[in-house]
Amino acid sequence: MNVSESIRIALRSLYANKLRAMLTMLGIIIGVMAVIAMLSIGRGAQAAITAQIQSIGTNLLFVRPGSVRQEGVRTAGSATTLTLEDGDALRGVVNVVGIAPQIDGGVQIANLGNNSNARLLGVTPEFLDVMNYSLANGDFISASAITARSAVVVLGAGIAQTLFDTGDPVGQTVRMNNQTFRVIGVMEAKGGSGFLNVDNQVYVPFTTAASRLTGGDRFRGQNTASVINVKITDPNLQESVVQDISDILRDRHHVLFDDDFTIQSQQDILNTANQITGVLTIFLGGIAAISLVVGGIGIMNIMLVSVTERTREIGIRKAIGARKKDILTQFLTEAIILSASGGIIGILFGALIARLISGFSFGGSTLNTVVDLDSVILAVVFSVGVGLFFGIYPANRAAGLHPIDALRYE
């Protein structure tokens, strides 16, 4: 018996039990649909995070506090020796074109009856250029505001909308941690989600944040920084710049071996983010794939029922010369057709769900799902593999029936 004949017989058998065949395929359809939808959501989230990180450029280095050993335990980020003056000392490094120290914190910000929690950044005037941010309205932090420790604030686009709706915030006042600040500018909307949503940030002078909002630490009489953002001319020169920065900071901090700072590149952050989102995507796809296994068990169940119902047919076919291989091929073909058909329908439904979800706003960020060719191929191969795996036992059982016993079966 050739392949085309096996397919013809399999289709005729499935057509004779249309409802049962559709219900059997339903498990595969749901499984493949879930896999496609989950993978597309995961890929979309990965693409969004990658775009968000790359939006501030690929030529950035981030100098952060390192670890210190306390009672025999080394705690990451616990050093308090990175200062505003360290940032000034790095301005002379070759191939460095911008330095922007900052202090991180959190504040409760309010205007009349509207209030919100926001991420606070104490920054210097260079922050705007170094981080590739833009103003939508008003002015940014000035050098004079740094010197005077002025009570001025620049709002992220999301915070501005929350507090002032469609009104113009510039020139208005807000309350942050029960202190009055004058709004001097609003940032251009960039989007994002969670910690990466820069629209939910507010910016004040570095010195103001240290003295009035964060209770910043001091080291040798100098304000400490949470991070020093460094903009370099070319990402390919990263290694030499990192070495020069390390030499300067080691000399200033009087350390030889155990650095009290770490230097991270934009690419390092991007690689870490991609690794995390990649694992989450696989995890989502793996959970969805469980339903495929359930669908495969359904195929095995129905094929076993089919073998029982067609026992006499199998006996007749064997009596007139059908080989064990022919019977095995026939039932395997039926199982594969069921799973492959369910897989194709599941892909269509999964792509439809991904398209419907795409463009929805989650936590202030728009999710654009991505249906890749590799996820479609994976779903097809996996669904066919499920049909083949769970169809082997029923097919082998049918092929192993003795002709005389099969003919006697009632």
On the question of pLDDT at 54 being above 70, the answer is no
pLDDT tens per residue, range 358-382: 777 655 556 778 887 877 887 778 7
The listed range with the strongest mean pLDDT (100-104, 215-219, 255-259, 335-339) is: 100-104
* Mean pLDDT in residue range 12-17: 76
Query: Which range has the worst mean pLDDT, 20-24, 131-135, 152-156, 306-310?
Result: 306-310
The listed range with the strongest mean pLDDT (28-32, 148-152, 223-227, 254-258) is: 148-152
**Percent helix, percent strand, percent coil in the chain, to nearest 5:** 55, 20, 20
Query: Which range has the worst mean pLDDT, 72-76, 201-205, 292-296?
Result: 72-76
On the question of pLDDT at 70 being above 70, the answer is no
* Mean pLDDT in residue range 152-181: 91
Alpha helices in 90-131 (DSSP H): 127-130
CA angle 173, 175, 179 (to 5 degrees): 110
Cα–Cα distance measured from residue 258 to residue 69, given in angstroms and rounded to the nearest whole number = 10
Which of these, 135, 136, 138, lies nearest to 127 by C-alpha position? 135
Residues 6+ apart with CB under 8 A from 190: 52, 55, 133, 157, 198, 199
Cα–Cα distance measured from residue 333 to residue 10, given in angstroms and rounded to the nearest whole number = 7
On the question of pLDDT at 187 being above 90, the answer is yes
DSSP output for 224-262? B-SEEEEEES-GGGHHHHHHHHHHHHHHHHT-SSS-SEE
Cα–Cα distance measured from residue 66 to residue 262, given in angstroms and rounded to the nearest whole number = 5
Alpha helices in 358-399 (DSSP H): 373-399
The listed range with the strongest mean pLDDT (21-25, 81-85, 242-246, 268-272) is: 242-246
* Domain ranges across the chain: 3-53+271-408, 80-259
Q: What percent of the chain has pLDDT over 90?
A: 16
Q: Is pTM, for the whole model, over 0.85?
A: no
SS3 label, residue 95: coil
Residue 140: what pLDDT?
95
Residue 77: what pLDDT?
47
